[in-house]
Amino acid sequence: MAREKGVVLLDFWVSPFGQRVRIALAEKGVDYEYKEQDLFNKSEHLLKSNPVYKKIPVLLHDGKPICESLIIVQYIDEVWSDKAPLLPDEPLARANARFWADFIDKKVYECGTRLWKLKGEEQEAAKKEFVEIFKLLQGELGDRKFFGGETFGFLDLALVPFVAWFYAYETFAKFSMDEECPKIVAWAKRCMERESVSKTLSDPNKVYEFVLFLKEKFGVEY
Amino acid sequence: MAEEVKLIGLSMSMFVIRVKIALNLKGVKYENLEETFGSKSEVLLKSNPIYKKIPVLIHNGKTICESMIIVQYVDDVWSGAGPSIVPSDPFDAAMARFWSYYIDDKWFPAYGEVMKGQTREAKIEAAKEAIAKLQPLEEVFQKQSKGKDFFGGDTIGYLDIALGCYLGWIKAAEKLTGLEFFDKSETPLLAAWAECFYSNDAVKCIMPDVDEFVEFAIKIQAKLNA
């Protein structure tokens, strides 16, 4: 089978995981072909590229697939190492960045999903948990400009795509991230000053509409 | 400054075993702080307030958590010593990370069902599932090893550690079910790899005996059924 040269990204427009990869590619100035996937009717290309999980994002580099967003981002950082380093150099800082990115992976999306899927007491519990998660992240950020310090890096891009989901979460679960985690909101604004982020993140209104669509699809009451 | 390396863990924990193998490969001397099964020490709770889990590496007073993150940290800090653990080729590194993630995410829960199985029959059924989930790794080994003994090639690497740490527990499951997890005809490369890994100097000095794992499995089962 002839390998297609170049960089191809199999992705879904609103996916925060896919957006991590798009931000990384933009930071590195890498040209790539974006291929939007229909997650409700998965293509042969996607199923063959990620037979284990059948999920996006998948990066294909000269035909070779790499899966799992944070693994893809580390791959991008290692291949295009001449520009915009994403992971810090220092071993402890690297371990720290990986730890918190893994924490984000374990906690944020799953908890966020409960915010719009559940109601009543369960939703309240999810809201409390969501705020706790972000308060921990806020603590980790401290008074720094970015999680990477002075420079935008791995941990910033691991988290920032979820900011586009704040409006949807806040609306469904009735709370305000600005009130609960103001430093996170301020950090998000600083990230949005970067073109790689502002051009990648979904419009929060569109995310909200997407969640409405999901609610209907999964039969969740409004 | 003299290096101060401490490892909070439990000798039976596969995740702790990962870190010990990495430290051994790099020739790093460390102080082993053994936890008591069933309770968590103050040191552990302070060192890992987020997850309250072992292993935790304490290096010159700084804490590092999550087994494979610790392994990468050890590889980064002691990069001049011993073999390189993470592959230097970015694609090989990505493959090692992906399959390590698969092992923890998909394979380990399947293995867990063997331990949870309340009857021998239930354990056998669960073991068949777990064995099936190991199958994809035969091809991964063929591609990554490039004809050598380990996923990492000539020396133990990231993926070897990620999977190999389970070998003691796998042998315990084999005793409890009578099944072979690495069938010599189904997965010959993995079968050969398992023997190589298990007998490696960096591994055998810290891997408890199979009978200790069996005894521990019975203890855990009793706790689960209580």
pLDDT of A1: 46
Q: Where would I find the H helices in chain A?
A: 16-28, 44-49, 69-79, 91-117, 120-141, 154-159, 166-173, 177-180, 182-192, 195-198, 204-217
Rounded to whole angstroms, how far apart are CA atoms A50 and A10? 10
Would you call A68 and B76 a contact, using CB atoms and an 8 Å cutoff?
no
Q: Which B residues in the span 161-180 are in contact with A, Cβ-Cβ below 8 Å?
A: none
Instruction: Give the pLDDT mean for B205-218.
Output: 94
pLDDT digits (tens, 9 = 90+) for B157-170: 999 999 999 999 99
Cβ count near A166 (within 10 Å): 22
Residue appearing with tokens 């990648």: A200
CA-nearest residue of chain B to A53? B102
Query: Angle at the Cα of B62 (from B58 to B68), degrees rounded to 5?
Result: 60
**Chain B partners within 8 Å of A91 (Cβ):** 73, 76-77
Give the closest-approach CA distance of A203 to chain B in angstroms: 31
d(CA A161, CA B160): 33
Smallest Cβ distance to A95: which of B72, B91, B97?
B72
Read off the tokens for B21: 């193998």
Q: What CA dihedral angle connects A201, A205, A208 and A209, to 10 degrees?
A: -110
Rounded to two decimals, the pTM is: 0.96
Q: What is the CA radius of gyration of chain B?
A: 17
Closest by Cβ to A68, choosing from B62, B76, B98 = B98
Q: Which among B189, B180, B87 has a CA at the least distance from the CA of B137?
A: B189
Tokens 């060192």 found at: B47
Distance of CA A108 to the CA centre of its chain: 10
B198 has which bridge partners? Answer: none
Q: Do B197 and B156 form a contact (C-beta atoms < 8 A)?
A: yes
Give the pLDDT score at B221.
Answer: 82
Residue B101 to residue A95, Cβ atoms within 8 A: no
Structural contact between residues B77 and A90, judged by C-beta atoms closer than 8 angstroms: no
Answer whether A16's CB lies under 8 Å from A162's CB.
Answer: yes
Residue of B77, B51, B58 lying closest to B6 (CA atoms): B58
Interface test with A, best of B3, B73, B75, B102 (most A CBs within 10 A): B73
| Distance separating alpha carbons of residues B170 and B110, to the nearest angstrom | 12
Cα Rg of chain A (Å, integer)? 18
Residue A109: which residues within 8 A CB-CB, separation 6 or more? A16, A162
CB within 8 Å: A66 and B91? yes
Preceding omega of A57 cis (within 30 degrees of 0): yes
* pLDDT at residue A222, as a whole number: 53
Of B159, B167, B176, the C-alpha closest to B208 is: B167
Considering only CA atoms, which of B80, B59, B70 is closest in space to residue B22?
B70
pLDDT of residue A3: 63
| Beta carbons within 10 angstroms of residue A212's beta carbon | 16
Mean pLDDT of B137-151: 97
> How many Å apart are CA B18 and CA B203, to the nearest integer?
9
Tokens of B209: 């005996």
- A20 Cα to chain B: minimum distance (Å): 16
Structure tokens at B154: 């000539």
Whole-number pLDDT of residue A219: 74
Residues of A in contact with B101 (CB under 8 A): 68, 71
User: Beta strands B31-34 and B56-59: pairing type?
Assistant: unpaired
**What's the confidence (pLDDT) of residue A221?**
60
What does the DSSP 8-state code read for residue B106?
Answer: I
Distance CA B131, CA B184 (A): 13
Predicted pLDDT of residue A2: 54
pLDDT band for position B182 (cuts 50, 70, 90): very high
B163-193 burial, b if ≥16 CB within 10 A, otherwise e? bbbbbbbbbbbbebbebebbeeeebeebbeb
Mean pLDDT of chain B: 95
> Is A24:A47 a contact under the CB 8 Å cutoff?
no
Tokens representing B100 are 């390590």
DSSP state at residue A53: T
Q: How many CA atoms lie within 13 A of B79 on its CB side?
A: 10
Asked if the C-beta of B98 comes within 8 angstroms of chain A's C-beta atoms, the answer is yes
Averages of pLDDT over runs of 10 residues in chain A (222 residues) are 81 98 98 97 97 98 98 98 96 98 97 94 97 98 96 98 98 97 98 98 98 87 56
